[in-house]
Structure 1
Amino acid sequence: MRITRKAAGAAAATVTLAMALTACGNGGEPAEPGSAEELSTEDDITISLAWWGDDDRAAKYEEAVDLFEKAHPNVTVQTQFQAWDDYWTARATEAAGKALPDVVQMDLSYLRQYGGTGQLLDLSGQVDVNLDVAGLDEALLSSGQIDGAQYGIPTSTNTLALFYNADVLADLGIDPPAEGYTWDDYNAWVEEVSAKGAGGEPAIYGSADYTGTFWFFLQWLIQQGVDPFSADGQLNFDQAQMAEWLNSGQNLRDGEAFFPIARTKQIEPLGGFTVSEAASEASWDNFLAGYVAETEQDIQMLPMPSGDNGPQQFYKPSMLLSASASTEQPAAAAALVDFLINDPQVGTIFGTSKGVPAVAAQRDAMNVEPGSIDEQVVGFEEQVADIVTEPAPVPVEGFGEIEAEFKRLSEELQYGNVSVDDFVSQWFTFADDAVGSE
């Protein structure tokens, strides 16, 4: 655990107090907007804030919290942070004692695990009192909701993009996929690139086997008009749909047109795209900075391939902020969330380091230099805004486990150790045990 200077003096007392609290919940009903009391400007208030990240993110949070405390001189914020794995271990321990920090940085994959089990405060009642959400896209805001309760407020966005290496394509004499391309078009393009690049040293491939990424399967489902997960937190797709998705890449696997899995394992933690041996790779748009740094080449972005219902995409919160259901200071917690998502100076501090700021005031306040990575990422999200028509799917409990199993089975499929039918059968058997049931 990384405790910052603000928490050092009071950490023990805070933990003792927090462990004595019981989750107040929301009576099983979403709170009415505007039902909360305004934050006091006279009472001395102390709240806690926790996030995952490195020292650079910690410095940015500390700077932002200092500004908040200047704006609210009667409020003290105790801060702590951990690396990703340690962060969720710490939160699980606190949740067992109903002792989450007052404000926690939340990932969409964990929202149902904490929100659906009474650990998070429904922030709906704080809206228009201590929390302004008017600047958030409605579809994005809804990604933080479960059963109508607002358990998370998105701080920043990303969306899926197809990255391509313009320098590699120029060497091969191949254009990137055309505007409006479909999944079938993309498969044909991958095959063309792999055939043209086969004689090189090293060989160049069009892509790795993208069908093995669970989020891409979810993207495809949404384009078929299928919500991947039901409102009660269960899987909302069947074995036939998963098989159809996996089989869409079978011809490329059979023809050895995908980047070889053996080479993938050889160069880990890098990938075929980052070593410039694959011409394209789909990922979240805020990965651009890492790709450019690793390849030192001209990396460009396109929207994801179109599906049966057109080029539908979704904004995924790169992270959210949530408040603990056991907080004794819900007004202060909401005010801190409000400040972190809306204040223009906070946008200047963080830039796109947590994704593109979700609120225009923060995006406008960033010091974006022409031609910079920040400008490209912000520009891409503006470019795809018209096709971002769907809310991000709120993952089920056990999401991390079923996502990892999907990846494991994909590797077995690429090695030829399992068939598509084997993959699907084994995955659903695993998911039946891993996904929380109502």
Structure 2
Amino acid sequence: MIDRRNFLTTVALGTASAAVLAACGQPSPAQTGSADNPVTINYTWWGNDDRAERTRKAIALFEAKNPDIKVNGNFTDFPAYWQKRATEAAGGGLPDVMQWDLSYLRDYGQRNQLLDLSTVKIDTSAFDKSLLPSGQIRGKTYGIPTSTNAFAVYYDPAKLASLGIAEPDGSWTYDEYNAFLTEVGTKSGGALFGSSDYTSVWWMFNIWLRQQNIEAFTEDGKLGFSKDDLKEWWNKVADLRGTPAIISEERITQLLPKSAFGSNATASEVTWDNFMAGYLGDSGAKELKLVPVPSDDPDNLGLFLKPSMLMVASAKTKNKDAAARFIDFMVNDPEVGEIFKTSRGVPASKTQRDGTTFEGTDKLVVDYEKSIEKYLKDAPEPPIVGFGTLEASFKRISADLNFGKVDVNGAADAWFKEAEDLIKQNA
């Protein structure tokens, strides 16, 4: 069990050893700088304007405390971010430091495009030891988590009260959650849907597999579950599709760019806990609450803390020391924690968490993760190469299922074919 309050180890990135000394005994200019002639590193991240503003504040703070390093920062949205990284990787020009997603860590790490952070003398002293493997591949550390998030069921208490429906406590089976969704749709007369199709979300499927003690992927990069497992999962809401319990994919598309829950079209949603601020902002709700996901085994909720994002460095960076110092600062500095609060997730470093004041929305997220401590298991290792593509196809095929374009058998056949083809390509 993870104890978020008593961490066993700390990750504080030390600086890299000095570059190879020149004959005169001075460090290489590529590895060190001065206030008058600072080393420049490039840093990139994805996100919206709010994250950009917070990140720029953090960069300014870092430069003030490290005048020998200048950070050039830029950002884009999530889809464009990965298109750009793929182009840069093909040309050998990844930025020095990058915000990263777990879904793409193995793709780039196994292809030697990311720096093994153990080569820059990484100490572990403020991160939970069960979280660190999520950034490791075959004994090498390619990513350091900035923050954590966990899956939860969001609900709007005001909407439930208006329908005369009791608030859930999160101790429910899948049948009971489905009954709740049906009750919302029925009592609202179809004006409010229970939720979007939770079986369309890969990570919720992953959690359900863990509830069955099934690993999604094997150590040798193969699928750890069967086609029958996937059919059973997608059949969980077979009777709810096309009813007021589950909002249609067509309606979801009409509501974009807001989500169904953020648009006040549904009473609940199953997703990551750090979406709280965004949901409150989009919906205008006075209050939203979080409870655990359903499980048919009350002792195994399949929950884990996932790095909401990681910090990585390019394997080709010429400034390892500067990159390491910047990563250390972004994941450990208490003032950085105050800047981001829970907008990146709950800070993964105890040093950063202890130096951050959590109030209001931020406190709700932190309190939720504390409430599920006894259910938490080790975070999964980085997914297989090409996982980002598989996750996208999972969502796309689930949408076809929701639209009625394909049945469960056809959906499972289609996804497995794509998955097996992709695994063969990357074998």
- Normalising by structure 2, we get a TM-score of 0.85
Deviations 1:106-153 (A, max 9, x none): 111111111111101111233xx4x44321122221111111211100
Distance (Å, rounded) in 2 between the aligned partners of 1:151 and 1:86: 22
Find the counterpart in structure 1 of residue 288 from structure 2: 299
Distance (Å, rounded) in 2 between the aligned partners of 1:420 and 1:272: 23
Shift of 1:393: 4.8
Match of 2:224 among 236, 242, 250: 236
- 1:2-151 matches, within 5 Å, as 37=17, 43-44=32-33, 45-126=39-120, 129=121, 131-151=122-142
**Given that residues 228 and 393 in structure 1 are in contact (C-alpha distance below 8 angstroms), is that contact kept between their aligned partners in structure 2?**
no
Shift of 1:328: 2.5
Distance (Å, rounded) in 1 between the aligned partners of 2:18 and 2:204: 43
Distance (Å, rounded) in 1 between the aligned partners of 2:56 and 2:112: 29
Match of 1:196 among 183, 187, 194: 187
**Given that residues 14 and 123 in structure 2 are in contact (C-alpha distance below 8 angstroms), is that contact kept between their aligned partners in structure 1?**
no
Structure 2 CA distance for partners of 1:273 and 1:80, relative to 1, 3 Å: closer
Gaps of 5+ in 2: 1-12, 20-26, 34-38
Match of 1:166 among 153, 157, 173: 157
Aligned pair 1:321/2:315, yes or no?
no
Deviations 1:290-317 (A, max 9, x none): 2112222231110111244612311121
Find the counterpart in structure 2 of residue 398 from structure 1: 386
Distance (Å, rounded) in 1 between the aligned partners of 2:275 and 2:165: 24
Find the counterpart in structure 1 of residue 257 from structure 2: 269
**Given that residues 194 and 244 in structure 2 are in contact (C-alpha distance below 8 angstroms), is that contact kept between their aligned partners in structure 1?**
no
Query: For residue 55 of structure 2, what is the amino acid of its counterpart?
Result: Y
Deviations 1:44-63 (A, max 9, x none): 24433222234443343333
For the residue of structure 2 that corresponds to 1:374, the secondary structure is helix
Structure 2 CA distance for partners of 1:84 and 1:255, relative to 1, 3 Å: closer
For the residue of structure 1 that corresponds to 2:167, the secondary structure is coil
Query: For residue 284 of structure 1, what is the amino acid of its counterpart?
Result: W
Which of 280-289 and 406-415 deviates more?
A: 406-415
For the residue of structure 1 that corresponds to 2:84, the secondary structure is helix
Distance (Å, rounded) in 1 between the aligned partners of 2:402 and 2:188: 20
Query: For residue 311 of structure 2, what is the amino acid of its counterpart?
Result: L
RMSD: 2.6
Distance (Å, rounded) in 1 between the aligned partners of 2:51 and 2:161: 37
Query: For residue 195 of structure 1, what is the amino acid of its counterpart?
Result: T
Find the counterpart in structure 1 of residue 8 from structure 2: none
Aligned pair 1:437/2:426, yes or no?
yes
Distance (Å, rounded) in 2 between the aligned partners of 1:183 and 1:257: 13
Find the counterpart in structure 1 of residue 365 from structure 2: 377
Find the counterpart in structure 2 of residue 363 from structure 1: 353
Distance (Å, rounded) in 2 between the aligned partners of 1:397 and 1:390: 21
**Given that residues 100 and 310 in structure 2 are in contact (C-alpha distance below 8 angstroms), is that contact kept between their aligned partners in structure 1?**
yes
Shift of 1:154: 0.4
Distance (Å, rounded) in 1 between the aligned partners of 2:85 and 2:173: 41
Shift of 1:319: 1.0
State, as a whole percentage, how many aligned pairs show the same letter: 44
